[in-house]
Amino acid sequence: MAEEVPFQFLHNELVQYIYKSADSGETENGRNITKLENMGFRVGQGLIERLTKETARFKDELDTMKFICKDFWTCVFKKQIDNLRTNHQGIYVLQDSKFRLLSQLAVGKQYLEQAPKYLAFTCGLVRGALSSLGVKSIVTAEVSLMPACKFQVIIQKN
């Protein structure tokens, strides 16, 4: 059995729970996305602290991003990011061609609109992890063909 499944099921319950009580209004949806993003942020912070306890400091931003794509992603999703691209000016695109937290959603265009609520937690997760490594960022996600998914990380320079 796939090891990531308990995490996936628990995440699914969390999304359901947060959305259950909500009316389907736009404002409420935005608020729920924020809640999920914040929870992801804290989990990301906690995880990266555990993961980097015995890791040497990263030599640069790209090195940090590679760690997120490999070790961090594998810890949470039991697979690596499939593709990492950067413009070398602080924008990174992380592509996961089979994103676990979407794999329970039925594949099909009509479910695309459901996708954002299954991505918010992970956006926060990446932002939290980077934040604990001293990198401030904005993280967004997009799905074109499920369950493939792209996370865009924009580094915030001080």
Count of residues touching its own copies (by CB under 8 A):
22
Given the DSSP bridges, would you call strands 137-142 and 83-86 parallel, antiparallel or unpaired?
A: unpaired
Q: Can you tell me the distance from the alpha carbon of 137 to that of 91, in angstroms, rounded to the nearest whole number?
A: 10
The interaxial angle of helices 115-132 and 26-51, nearest 10 deg, is 40
What does the per-residue mask of binding to its own copies show for 55-84, with x meaning CB under 8 A? --------------------xx--------
Considering only 28, 46, 138, 145, the residue that binds its own copies (CB under 8 A) is 46
Considering only 17, 25, 89, 108, the residue that binds its own copies (CB under 8 A) is 17
| Residue (of 151, 157, 150, 6) closest to 78 by Cα position | 6
**Which residues make up the interface to its own copies (CB under 8 A)?**
1, 3, 5-7, 9-11, 13-14, 17-18, 35, 39, 42-43, 46-47, 50-51, 75-76
